[in-house]
Structure formats: C-alpha cells, structure tokens
Structure 1
Amino acid sequence: MCEVCTTSRGLSRRGFLGSGLGAAGLAAAGMMGALALPSAAWAQAPARPNAIPPAEALKRLQDGNARYAANTSTQSDFSAGRLARASAQYPFAAILSCADSRLAPEFAFDQGAGELFVCRVAGNFINTDGLASLEYGVAVLGVPLIMVLGHSNCGAIDATIKVVKDNVVLPGHLPELVNALKPGIEAAIAQKPADLLAAATVENVRFNAKRMQSSSSILSQAVADKKLMVVGAVYDIATGKVNMVEV
C-alpha cells in the first residue's frame, strides 16, 4: 500500500489540504476548485470525453462485458493512447470491486487503460478511504457512473458468514474486514435463502451501493442532479458474465 494511502487515515481534511501534498498535488489537479463548484457550475464546465449520460456509461460496461463473456474482446493494443493519457484521464465509470485475483474489471468490461476508475478491497465494501477516492472520481474526474461489483464464490463473504454463524475467530486485521461486511451478510442470513453465499454477495453489494450515497453529500448531490448513477452487479467467475443487482 502506498505511503499516501496509509497516512491519509490520520489526516483531517484541513490538514490534508494544508500539507505539501494538498498545496501542490491537489492544486495541480484542480481538486480544490472542483470540489467547491456548485451543481450549476458543473453543468457549465467544459465538455470532457467522459461527459456522457450515466445510462450510456452503464451500456458501455454491459456491452463490453458481453464481448468479454463471448470471448470477442477488442482490447489488445495496450500501448495505444499511452502518451495522450500521460497528461489527463477521463474514466467513464468507477468500479468498487473485490480484490480477488480472478476478477479484473478492465478485462471483464473489455475496457482499455484510462476508461475505468477502479477501487479494490476484499469484499468490495465502502470505507472512508474508498469513499474519498470515489468522491474524487466524481467531483474531479467527472465520472458519471459508479458500480459496486461483487463476484461469485467470494472468500471474504464466505469468511464473514462463518464468523457470524459459527463464531469462527480470524487472525490479524481480518476481524476489521469482517465487521465491515457484517451488515449485508446479516441481512442475507435473515432471509434464510437456499444459497446463503450467493444471497449474501448480493446483499453486500446492495448495502454498499446505498451506504456510499447516504455517507457522502458529494455523491448524493450528484445523483440528485442526475449527473451520477450508482448501480450494483455481481460477476460470475465461471461464465465471465456480470448480472445487475437492484439497488
């Protein structure tokens, strides 16, 4: 994990903006100005390549996944556009996905570098760091779509089920991860589904898609202004297909 990621937990917003990183890095990126823009100003900002309706962004993801699942992916030249991307990025979707090595969002949606703003953590749950990253993606990069992406046979979900149901004790920092996943898993257990792992995966996606909006005025305002859509989905490791989840 990078030094910035690990130290940012201990910084307040004022301390972050007042640090060397805030003064140099964020000013260069235009972050302070972008975060200060009211909704009306966003509409007047210069058009960007990713300034598309949220529904169009979702369709791009779905079309890309259809190509991937059918083994007709178009992404093969990874050097294309590298020089152009050196100065700016215009991702059209942000993906909150699991860290599972069998799920690579760029491949699953047949997208090239610079197209997706991806945040990954085991169990695809939202925390303060992830929320800040997604706020940056929306407020500064202009991302019109956020997808919370779970996947089949998720080890983090399965481990949390064992802790909740069987009182299994996990070592190290794993209990913190389990605590973050409990709300969705407990909601699934209450339903007494035939396939608890599958149901818990869906409920975890649903819970975190809702939580990120209720926890962030930046995201909730963008949704209210119809500049942003937050959706949920589950990736099937065996087939490569992504199925939408009603949020």
Structure 2
Amino acid sequence: MSERPTPARVWAEMKRGNARFVAGEPRHPRQDVERRTELAAAQKPRAALFGCSDSRLAAEIIFDKGLGDLFVVRNAGQVISDSVVGSLEYAVAVLDVSLIVVLAHDACGAVGAAIDSTRPDAPVLPPLIWRQIAPIVPAARSLLAAGATEGVSPDALDPMEVGRVHLRNTVAELLRASEMISEAVAEGRVAVVGANYRLEEGTAVPEIIVGPAADAD
C-alpha cells in the first residue's frame, strides 16, 4: 500500500502540472485505456477541487491531470452550499484526499453580476440566479464600504479585487461550515489552497493557503 501523500507534496504536484500547461507542454497523464480500466473498481484522488463552473476552468486540463486524480465540485462563482460542503467532506472522510483547492478566476460573470446588483437601479434577477450570486455580494459591499469616504461607486470597483475577497470569504466559509474539514486542517492531514486562475496566462496563483501546503516546493 502506497504512503499517503502530504498536502505539501500534492500541492507541489498541482503546481508542476499547471506550469506544464502554461508552458504548452502538457503530458496528459493517466488518460489511457489502462488507467480507465484500473479505476473501474475504485477511485483514490489525491486532491479535491472546488471551482467556478466557467467553461474555461477545466480543472484536469489546467493542472495537467488525468482520470482519477481530482475530485471536482463546481458551481457558478464557487459559492459554498450544503451540497458543496457535503461533497468536500466526502472527499476528505471517504476518499482521504490531502488537499482541497478552491479555484476562482478573473473575468468571472458571477462576480460581475454581484457587483451590478449593488447598483441602486439594478434589475431584478430571476430568484435562483440571485440566490446563487448573493454570497458574492458581501465582497463587493465590503469594498464599497471601505472606499465610502472616497465616494467609491460600483462602477469603480475592480472585479479582480472583488473576486479575491470573495475567494478568501469562500475558504473561510468552508472552514466555518465544516468542522470535519477544519479538524483535518488543524491536524495537518489536509490543506486548503485558495487560488485565482488567470485566463490569459493560464496560471493558478495562490491567494490564501490554510494548513501544511505553504512549504511545498
């Protein structure tokens, strides 16, 4: 039985895969018939990834991974919900992953919609769309409040900065919502990395690291 990889080792592998993707030299590992057959009975991913549903955020491509490498959960704007937390708890408790990556990105439509919703004349959104973006709105409002003395308006907000605040809020909310994951992080068994994906460059840039992944090479 192989030794369980540390969170730092798994994050280092993720970074190397992303570097290959950025350089245009992906290996496309573990995507053959043999791998498919090997996984038919069971899966043993090393990491879980919770990201935005944006079509440009294909996790296995960005990190040059293959079948069975990542346990992926996605929704618009990477918004925490009971189903997201339950899925990530399953990844930790049952699949024994060492790392959770929360992946945001620039030019996010959900972030843009959240910013637009803070305008006094904002149109009413369909209820389910509003429910999806509502958890992002506090990030926009916090930046508006911080710049209130300077008269900052929604038009002046930087979507990338709103996205970064929302990413940090998402990581904090995940740890708040899941005692199981928080305990795993405290024990050093799991780390959580919040990263922002830059669409044009292809790089996944860490914004916040919680747990023992910070020392990864």
Bucket of the pairwise TM-score, normalised by the shorter protein: 0.7 to 0.9
- State the alpha-carbon separation in 1 of the partners of residues 49 and 173 from structure 2: 15
SS at match of 2:119: helix
SS at match of 1:173: helix
2:7 paired residue number = 54
- In the alignment, structure 1 residue 75 sits paired with structure 2 residue 28: yes
1:1-247 → structure 2 map (5 Å cutoff): 51-75=4-28, 78-79=31-32, 80-166=34-120, 167-192=122-147, 196-246=158-208
Between stretches 160-169 and 219-228, larger displacement belongs to 160-169
* Structure 1 segments unaligned to the other structure (5+ residues): 1-46
**Offset at residue 182 of structure 1 (A):** 1.9
Letter in 2 for 1:147: V
Question: 1:193-243 CA distances to partner (integer Å, 9 max, x unpaired)?
Answer: 975200011111100111111111110110111001011000011111111
SS at match of 1:230: strand
Question: 1:90-139 CA distances to partner (integer Å, 9 max, x unpaired)?
Answer: 11111110000111010000000100111000001111000000000000
Kept after mapping to 2: 8 A contact 1:184/1:200: yes
- State the alpha-carbon separation in 1 of the partners of residues 94 and 39 from structure 2: 16
**Offset at residue 77 of structure 1 (A):** 6.4
- Between the two proteins, the alignment pairs up a number of residues equal to 200
- State the alpha-carbon separation in 1 of the partners of residues 10 and 112 from structure 2: 31
* Structure 2 segments unaligned to the other structure (5+ residues): 210-217
Kept after mapping to 1: 8 A contact 2:144/2:157: no
**Offset at residue 48 of structure 1 (A):** 5.2
- State the alpha-carbon separation in 2 of the partners of residues 54 and 149 from structure 1: 16
C-alpha distance 196-133 of structure 1, shift in aligned 2 (>3 A): same
Structure with greater helix percent: 1
**Offset at residue 162 of structure 1 (A):** 0.3
SS at match of 1:150: strand
Identity %: 34
Kept after mapping to 2: 8 A contact 1:188/1:196: no
- State the alpha-carbon separation in 2 of the partners of residues 178 and 216 from structure 1: 21
Structure with more contact order per residue of length (Cα contacts < 8 Å, sep ≥ 6): 2
TM-score normalised to structure 1 length: 0.76
C-alpha distance 118-188 of structure 1, shift in aligned 2 (>3 A): farther
Letter in 2 for 1:246: I
Letter in 2 for 1:70: A
